[in-house]
């Protein structure tokens, strides 16, 4: 018996050691971030409720690990991208620098902030960013005033942009595909001649555009740039490529090659072109003999938009038309982009690294996209200082053992304002209803939800009551993944425990072990309250 145990232990030790040796060699890394892609929009996670063919994403999952409990930090674009870039919760940052509407937004955070590009650069990596930026730029203007839709000098390079955040080479669209200016900037230099006015389907925002820019050609432009970045590596220096797609975010505009490809319609066509991006990256790596030693992580910045679908104009609630056709972009989960529910916050995430990760794995541990920084630090042999990535926890051990105990035990998220606290299987939403405005199709918008909650209670209103039912929602995701049963009334102590956890992490300026840090501004635990309640709290 002892001999058998010794043999098993020796085998385990050898396997562990082999994994450690494999992990010791820093991999190339390609991080692919889709835009508004839901958990159920990919076949390997959506199952029979997914009516879109995603063969290349599914093949990536077959070659590696599917993460079934991966979450964003907010169910809207900008904050999640900020958390990915810095390993810091987005609500810790102050206001953006001034800028005009849409893609003219000013710098979202200081170029002095430590980023994943800085991390990989100091580890000796060649870093590249291709795709949607949406974290702010500083543009040269003709009148010396703050950038807006009328004064940008496109003959001059950006005064500050992605290259100032540690990236060696960049090719970006400043905002989303429905946010002008519709023009690419390569290493801070505007491409082509920006002297046209254009707008696209969905919201039809007409603004500055490069004269040859077409919405249906953007993904192909990104894919070619990603291929070029991979092709020009010297193969002795590791590289890190961040590929940020603009799809299937509106405008729903697949290329001509993909029009009509999906049986579901144009939305399915666009998702299939996202899937094609994975194919292009994999083939570029294989062509250069780099596939086995490259870690590919594929995920999305939050859940699907409720206004997106087969009608090109943004139409509130049209995602239900896809559901009636048998396709559920949020998978089995409730809610969409902008909401506090899982459909807005839980995202598809896949990791594939043939030299290290075993095929066909599934990891059910809690992971946040803000964990990318600590994970890359582990894989590249770097040590983060106490100030760097204060909310980032490495999931590198899960790559070799998906069933290992997860290091992350809790995660703080947001909708467009209200906080969400996850701890184990417990989830607390610090608002009634979806936490969204309801304008675009989420159920029970904020104003309606607060009105109903206040109508259901005769208690005298005070600050403490806003942390109790019916003003908060508590779910046990282990038994209620669809978030149908609010347990806040039955379990006030659990609510109080999760509120205390949030308050502690706000006060500490970090959620990881280390010295206390400062937030960039005063963070209020209750966010986006109705105006009369905001005044009530100011008077307390």
Residues 380 and 416 grouped into a single domain: no
Residues 379 and 425 grouped into a single domain: no
The pLDDT confidence band at residue 56, using thresholds 50, 70 and 90, is very high
CATH number at residue 173: 3.40.720.10
End-of-domain residue from the set 394, 409, 424:
409
Give the C-alpha separation, 515 to 310, whole Å: 50
Structural domain of residue 334, as residue ranges? 28-409
The total number of structural domains in the chain stands at 2
Over 50: is that where the pLDDT of 110 sits? yes
Q: Are strands 473-476 and 426-429 parallel, antiparallel or unpaired?
A: antiparallel
In a domain, residue 471? The reply is: yes
In a domain, residue 13? The reply is: no
Q: What is the pLDDT of residue 2?
A: 40
Residues 329 and 454 grouped into a single domain: no
pTM greater than 0.75:
yes
- Please give the DSSP secondary-structure letter assigned to residue 53: -
For residue range 79-105, what is the model confidence (pLDDT) as tens digits? 999 999 999 999 999 999 999 889 999
User: Using N-to-C axis directions, what is the helix angle for 266-287 and 55-62, rounded to 10°?
Assistant: 50
Residues 322 and 192 grouped into a single domain: yes
CATH number at residue 496: 3.30.1120.10
Over 70: is that where the pLDDT of 3 sits? no
Give mean pLDDT, residues 139-168: 97
Q: What is the pLDDT of residue 85?
A: 98
Give the C-alpha separation, 203 to 176, whole Å: 12
Give the C-alpha separation, 100 to 93, whole Å: 20
The pLDDT confidence band at residue 530, using thresholds 50, 70 and 90, is confident
Residues 448 and 378 grouped into a single domain: no
The pLDDT confidence band at residue 527, using thresholds 50, 70 and 90, is confident
Residue whose C-alpha is closest to residue 31's, from 284, 245, 247? 245
Could you tell me which residues come within 8 angstroms of residue 526 by beta carbon, excluding any fewer than 6 positions away? 418, 430, 466, 537
Q: What is the pLDDT of residue 21?
A: 37
In a domain, residue 48? The reply is: yes
Residues 378 and 498 grouped into a single domain: no
E strand spans, 229-359: 239-248, 294-300, 349-352
For residue range 428-450, what is the model confidence (pLDDT) as tens digits? 999 999 999 888 989 877 888 88
Q: What is the pLDDT of residue 540?
A: 55
In a domain, residue 20? The reply is: no
In a domain, residue 219? The reply is: yes
Q: What is the pLDDT of residue 459?
A: 59
Residues 319 and 381 grouped into a single domain: yes
Give mean pLDDT, residues 323-352: 98
Residues 476 and 417 grouped into a single domain: yes
In a domain, residue 12? The reply is: no
Residues 231 and 94 grouped into a single domain: yes
End-of-domain residue from the set 409, 425, 458:
409
Q: What is the pLDDT of residue 445?
A: 79
Give the C-alpha separation, 472 to 52, whole Å: 36
Averaged pLDDT of the chain: 93
For residue range 132-141, what is the model confidence (pLDDT) as tens digits? 999 999 999 9
């Amino acid at each position: 018996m002892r001999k058998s145990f010794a043999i098993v232990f020796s085998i385990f030790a050898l396997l562990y050691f082999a994994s450690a040796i494999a992990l010791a060699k820093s991999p190339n890394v390609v991080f692919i971030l889709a835009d508004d892609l839901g958990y159920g929009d990919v076949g390997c996670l959506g199952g029979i409720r997914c009516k879109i063919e995603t063969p290349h994403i599914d093949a990536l999952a077959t070659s590696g690990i599917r993460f079934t409990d991966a979450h964003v930090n907010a169910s809207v674009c900008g904050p999640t991208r900020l958390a990915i870039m810095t390993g810091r919760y987005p609500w810790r940052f102050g206001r953006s620098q001034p800028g005009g509407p849409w893609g003219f937004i000013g710098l979202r955070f200081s170029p002095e902030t430590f980023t994943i590009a800085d991390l990989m650069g100091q580890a000796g990596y060649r870093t590249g960013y291709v795709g949607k930026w949406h974290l702010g730029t500083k543009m040269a203007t003709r009148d010396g005033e703050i950038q807006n839709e009328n004064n940008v000098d496109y003959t001059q390079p950006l005064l500050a942009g992605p290259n100032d955040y540690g990236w060696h080479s960049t090719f970006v669209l400043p905002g989303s595909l429905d946010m002008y200016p519709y023009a690419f900037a390569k290493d801070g230099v505007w491409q082509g001649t920006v002297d046209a006015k254009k707008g696209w389907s969905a919201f039809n925002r007409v603004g500055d555009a490069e004269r040859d820019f077409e919405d249906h050609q953007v993904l192909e432009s990104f894919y070619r740039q990603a291929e070029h970045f991979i092709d020009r590596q010297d193969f002795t220096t590791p590289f890190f490529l961040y590929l940020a797609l603009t799809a299937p975010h509106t405008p729903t505009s697949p290329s001509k090659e993909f029009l009509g490809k999906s049986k579901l319609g144009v939305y399915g066509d666009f998702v299939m072109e996202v899937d094609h991006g994975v194919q292009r990256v994999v083939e570029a790596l294989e062509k250069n003999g780099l596939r086995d030693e490259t870690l590919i992580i594929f995920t999305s910045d939050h859940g699907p938009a409720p206004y997106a679908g087969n009608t090109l104009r943004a139409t509130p609630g049209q995602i239900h038309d896809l559901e009636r056709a048998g396709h559920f972009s949020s998978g089995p989960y409730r809610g969409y982009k902008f909401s506090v529910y899982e459909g807005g916050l839980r995202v598809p995430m896949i990791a594939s690294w043939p030299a290290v990760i075993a095929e066909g794995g599934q990891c059910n541990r809690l992971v946040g996209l803000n964990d990318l920084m600590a994970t890359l630090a582990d894989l590249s042999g770097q040590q983060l200082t106490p100030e760097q990535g204060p909310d980032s926890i490495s999931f590198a051990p899960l790559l070799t053992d998906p069933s290992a105990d997860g290091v992350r035990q809790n995660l703080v998220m947001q909708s467009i304002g209200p906080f969400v606290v996850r701890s184990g299987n417990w989830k607390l939403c610090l608002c009634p209803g979806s936490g969204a405005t309801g304008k675009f199709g989420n159920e029970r918008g904020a104003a309606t939800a607060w009105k109903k909650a206040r109508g259901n209670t005769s208690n005298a209103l005070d600050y403490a009551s806003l942390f109790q039912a019916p003003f908060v929602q508590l779910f046990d995701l282990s038994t209620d993944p669809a978030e149908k049963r609010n347990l806040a009334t039955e379990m006030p102590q659990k609510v109080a425990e999760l509120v205390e956890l949030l308050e502690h992490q706000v006060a500490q300026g970090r959620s990881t072990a280390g010295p206390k840090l400062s937030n960039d501004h005063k963070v209020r635990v209750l966010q986006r309250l109705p105006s009369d309640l905001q005044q009530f709290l100011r008077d307390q």
